[in-house]
């Protein structure tokens, strides 16, 4: 009888070991799946952040172009646009050639537009001038606060409004902005009317 009871105890000890190993394997698999899920969520959050940064950069260029039109469009003739300009040094133009609705034989995913673009860098924006620099070689706060390229806009003169409710000249503003890399791009477009006012002396 004593031999039988000691064998039962040894068998039970072996079961505890097997059960412990199975439990450890299950916990490990759950932990690995959680870490993978956290990594995917972190990438999604980073992509959303970059998308918002690109959109805000495009909207800053669009807002600048609208403000410039409001203050400077009178007496500014539209010209055929031929090359990139820089709004930070006063090079702004109103283009008589409108952007095409379709771009034949050209990759429409390539932005900004080849001709007529005017770049505008807001005062607090930092442009990454060294595309080969990465977060491992510089301070991450500095690197992730930079933008791949300055935002740009394109002002098209659409002609005089035929709607009596909106008398004046109609302009179309297309703007593009980048996030931290060239793959993060946002484009916005607005139609802007500069009213013609008259008053009696």
Give pLDDT tens digits for 148-190: 889 999 988 888 888 887 788 888 899 999 888 888 888 888 8
- Answer yes or no: are the C-beta atoms of 59 and 84 closer than 8 Å: no
The rounded distance, in Å, linking the Cα atoms of 154 and 118 is 6
Report which of residues 93 and 8 the model is more confident about. 93
Question: Counting Cβ atoms within 10 Å, is residue 31 exposed (0-12), middle (13-18) or buried (19+)?
Answer: exposed
- Antiparallel, parallel or unpaired: β 168-178 and 185-195: antiparallel
Q: Give the pLDDT mean for 84-96.
A: 86
Torsion of Cα atoms, 4 then 10 then 14 then 20, to 10°: 120
The rounded distance, in Å, linking the Cα atoms of 171 and 155 is 7
Q: Give the model's pLDDT for residue 161.
A: 82
Q: Give the model's pLDDT for residue 180.
A: 84
Q: Give the model's pLDDT for residue 43.
A: 83
What is the rounded end-to-end Cα distance, in angstroms, of the chain?
124
Report which of residues 195 and 123 the model is more confident about. 123
pLDDT, tens digit (0-9, with 9 covering 90-100), for 151-160: 999 988 888 8
* Closest of 69, 7, 16, 85 to residue 194, by C-alpha: 69
Name the pTM for this structure: 0.70
Q: Give the pLDDT mean for 74-91.
A: 82
Q: Give the model's pLDDT for residue 201.
A: 39
Report which of residues 134 and 20 the model is more confident about. 20
């Amino acid at each position: 009888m004593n031999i039988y009871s000691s064998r039962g105890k040894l068998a039970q000890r072996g079961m505890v070991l097997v059960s412990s190993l199975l439990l450890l394997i299950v916990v490990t698999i759950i932990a690995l799946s959680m870490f993978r899920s956290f990594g995917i969520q972190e990438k999604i959050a980073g992509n959303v952040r970059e998308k918002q940064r690109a959109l805000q950069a495009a909207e800053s260029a669009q807002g600048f172009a609208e403000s410039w039109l409001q203050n400077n469009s009178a007496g500014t003739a539209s010209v055929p646009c031929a090359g990139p300009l820089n709004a930070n040094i006063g090079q702004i133009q109103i283009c008589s050639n409108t952007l095409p609705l379709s771009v034949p034989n050209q990759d429409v995913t390539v932005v900004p537009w080849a001709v007529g673009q005017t770049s505008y860098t807001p005062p607090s924006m930092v442009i990454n001038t060294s595309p080969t620099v990465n977060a491992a070689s510089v301070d991450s706060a500095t690197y992730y606060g930079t933008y791949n390229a300055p935002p740009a806009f394109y002002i098209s003169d659409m002609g005089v409004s035929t709607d009596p409710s909106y008398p004046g000249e109609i302009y179309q503003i297309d703007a593009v902005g980048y996030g931290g890399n060239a793959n993060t791009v946002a484009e916005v477009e607005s139609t802007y009317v500069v009213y013609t006012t008259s008053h009696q002396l």
